[in-house]
Amino acid sequence: MTSASTTHLVLIPSYNPGIKVAATVRSARAHWNPVWVVVDGSTDGSAALLQAMAATDPGLQVLVLPHNVGKGAAVLQGLDRAAAQGFSHVLTMDSDGQHPAELIPSFMATSQQQPAAMVLGVPVFAADAPQLRVQGRKISNGWANLETLWAGIGDSLFGFRVYPIAPLRQVMQGQRWMRRFDFDPEAVVRMSWRGVPAINLPATVKYFTVAEGGVSHFNYLRDNCLLTWMHSRLFAGFVLRLPLLLLRRLKSMVF
């Protein structure tokens, strides 16, 4: 990919990603230009590695945050900078190699064809994927679909997706949540409440073992408590918005 898009960019939040980060960023760059990485206070030396890559690649920019602020907060930093430079959409993906960089062009093309929508990856798991993660996400997906009256969210947790920048920034600037692991599911629910439609596309996901360089920062107790608190808040917001959501659903059925 040589010609740089002036509307769509790849945005990769990264925190202590392990050895897969260089290959992940190279693969993203092979399929899109530009690619931005937000280093979220990493302490593993990956910031220096990425900065060295960016020094020889004008299609890669690296923003280094001085301390860890969380995935959602790191994405917001990238969104603010992207909006200031005139970009309209970002494709977010993880830095640890789990997300399919080869699908970036097709997701971007779908977004370019329907720019008002968010394009959501729906994970396609291999047989060796951890069943605790595969089955556990069904709970969050069920809550997200209830909270949006089944507006079409295929998967609430998978972070490989394209967002329109303007409504996402408005959502995030309007409240203080969505700054950490709760970013991905809360973003799709609140965007759906704003009337942003969802387009779902299948996307393969890889889980690497520790021996293969896999890194996971998921903490079962901490992050599930965070998700439980998040869905409690969202359900309260859903109840308040229920008349509007019902009216929107009725209109969609009529037309």
Residue with tokens 């439609």, as numbered in its chain: 197
Q: How far is CA 46 from CA 71, 95, 110, in A?
A: 16, 11, 32
Per-residue pLDDT, 248 = 83
Task: Enter the CATH code of domain 8-254.
Answer: 3.90.550.10
Q: Where are the domains of the chain?
A: 8-254
**146: its two tokens:** 């209830």
Each residue's pLDDT, cut to its tens digit, for the chain (255 residues) gives 568 999 999 999 999 998 889 999 999 999 999 999 999 999 999 999 999 999 999 999 999 999 999 999 999 999 999 999 999 999 999 999 999 999 999 999 999 999 999 999 999 988 777 776 677 789 899 999 999 999 999 999 999 999 999 999 999 999 889 998 899 999 999 999 999 999 999 999 987 665 555 566 555 567 678 888 999 999 999 999 999 899 888 877 665
CB 60 within 8 A of CB 54: yes
Write down how long the chain is: 255
How far apart, in whole angstroms, are the C-alpha atoms of residue 250 and residue 246? 6
